[in-house]
């Protein structure tokens, strides 16, 4: 038994796994690490430990590294995330994929808080194990959940920078030019994919694509135009039409008739008098009147229009006179047209707009 307060040791199953790995050449797979609270105190690790006294959390190993090549010491690392906690860590153990405990260690007592308690942190637990052959141990883990520490990131960054500097020193000017040309060609190919012939570009300021991309040809869409989508088959692309104003004609009005009809108001013209006709007489003849009133014979005379002899014995010339004509109140039907409506001015049908500059690629 070691007199150290904190130590680590392989379990009998762990020693057997390492021994088989040395003989077979297939490394023993370290997959998981668990931590426990030791049942309330830091446990003493005996010569043949078997497991934890009270496990509180288990997770996948983050890494297996060689801590001391001369002494075949490997370091196993577990990172506990901030959202896990609420327990005290006093012991740790390593397991394979089958859940077999391969090593046990006692660790300094530390409390792992929960975020809900007002504090949270990543807790890193590392176990150092002395094995007969460091090559007999490997990490069996899912790379997608491995977490890199800040120190490891810094080491990786420094190593990458050192490699880049070393390579850069060996690059010749011709190679630099070749790389630059390759990048330029690649960028040009990407640009061509994004801007094939027929592409339309809109700009909110004065930009001439013929100047910006001189290897291509662009045509301006025209001034004071409104864009309108054409047919999906493209058969009417680039056709123009329409206007910003329109004049209404008779054909644009609703197909209805406006009737105009009525009757003139009654007017009482009273009694009218003819103009004088002058002194005059009327030619004709008189003939006896044979009426029932006179018993068939009378000295009465009647006017006959089928006269043959003039006789003025009974018909005298009348003095100058006039006649009165009575015209009763009456009306007359009327019809007609209204006066002209409006003056034929155009109607502005321009929509609210914002102007942009528009070009299309022709070659």
Looking at the fold, whether 113 and 21 belong to one and the same domain comes out as yes
219 contacts 362 by C-beta, under 8 angstroms: yes
Assess if residue 254 is contained within a domain: no
Our measurement of the distance from residue 211's CA atom to the centroid of its chain's CA atoms, rounded to an integer in Å, reads 32
Confidence grade of residue 91 (pLDDT, cut at 50, 70, 90): very high
Beta bridge partners of 78: 125
Q: Number of structural domains, the chain?
A: 2
> Each residue of 176-211: pLDDT tens digit?
788 788 888 888 888 888 888 888 988 888 889 999
185: containing domain: 160-194
Mean pLDDT (the chain) is 76
pLDDT digits (tens, 9 = 90+) for 147-156: 445 555 556 5
Same structural domain, 129 and 108: yes
Q: Is 42 within the bounds of a domain?
A: yes
> Do 81 and 187 share a structural domain?
no
What CA–CA distance (Å, rounded) separates 209 from 191? 13
Measured CA to CA, the distance from residue 40 to residue 45 in angstroms comes to 15
Note the pTM of the prediction, 2 decimals. Answer: 0.40
Q: Residue 299 half-sphere exposure, CB side, CA atoms within 13 Å?
A: 1
For 303-307, what is the mean pLDDT? Answer: 52
* Whether residues 56 and 84 fall in one domain: yes
Say what the pLDDT of residue 37 is: 94
Residue 363 resides in a domain: no
pLDDT tens digit string along 158-179? 665 655 555 555 556 777 788 7
CA torsion, ordered 62, 67, 72, 73, to nearest 10 deg: -70
335: CB partners within 8 A, 6+ apart: 260, 261
């Amino acid at each position: 038994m070691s007199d150290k307060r904190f130590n680590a040791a392989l379990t009998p199953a762990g020693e057997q796994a390492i021994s088989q790995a040395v003989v077979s050449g297939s490394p023993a797979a370290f997959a998981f690490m668990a931590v426990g609270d030791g049942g309330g105190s830091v446990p003493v690790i005996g010569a043949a430990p078997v497991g934890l006294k009270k496990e509180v959390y288990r997770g996948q190993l983050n890494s297996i590294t060689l801590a001391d090549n001369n002494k075949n010491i490997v370091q196993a690392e577990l990172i506990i995330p901030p959202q896990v906690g609420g327990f005290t860590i006093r012991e740790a153990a390593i397991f394979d994929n089958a859940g077999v405990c391969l090593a046990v260690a006692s660790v300094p007592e530390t409390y792992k808080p929960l975020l809900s308690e007002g504090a949270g942190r990543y807790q890193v637990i590392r176990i150092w194990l002395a094995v007969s052959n460091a090559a007999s141990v490997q990490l069996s883990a899912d790379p997608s959940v491995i977490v890199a520490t800040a120190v490891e990131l810094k080491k990786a960054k420094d190593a990458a920078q050192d490699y880049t500097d070393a390579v850069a020193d060996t690059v010749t000017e011709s190679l630099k030019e070749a790389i630059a040309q390759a990048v330029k060609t690649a960028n040009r190919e990407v640009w061509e994919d994004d801007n094939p012939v027929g592409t339309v570009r809109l700009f909110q300021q004065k930009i001439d694509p013929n100047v910006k991309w001189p290897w291509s040809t662009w045509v301006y869409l025209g001034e004071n135009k409104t864009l309108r989508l054409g047919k999906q088959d493209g058969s009417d692309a680039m056709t123009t039409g329409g206007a910003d104003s329109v004049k209404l004609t008779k054909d644009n009005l609703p197909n209805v008739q406006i009737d105009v009809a009525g009757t003139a108001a009654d007017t009482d013209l009273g009694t009218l008098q003819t103009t004088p006709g002058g002194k005059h007489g009327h030619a004709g003849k008189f003939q006896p009147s044979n009426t029932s009133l006179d018993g068939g014979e009378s000295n009465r005379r009647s006017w006959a229009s089928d006269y043959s002899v003039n006789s003025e014995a009974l018909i005298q010339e009348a003095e100058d006179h006039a006649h009165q004509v009575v015209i009763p109140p009456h009306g007359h039907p009327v019809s007609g047209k209204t006066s002209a409506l409006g003056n034929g001015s155009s109607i502005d049908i321009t929509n609210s707009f914002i102007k942009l500059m528009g070009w299309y690629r022709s070659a």
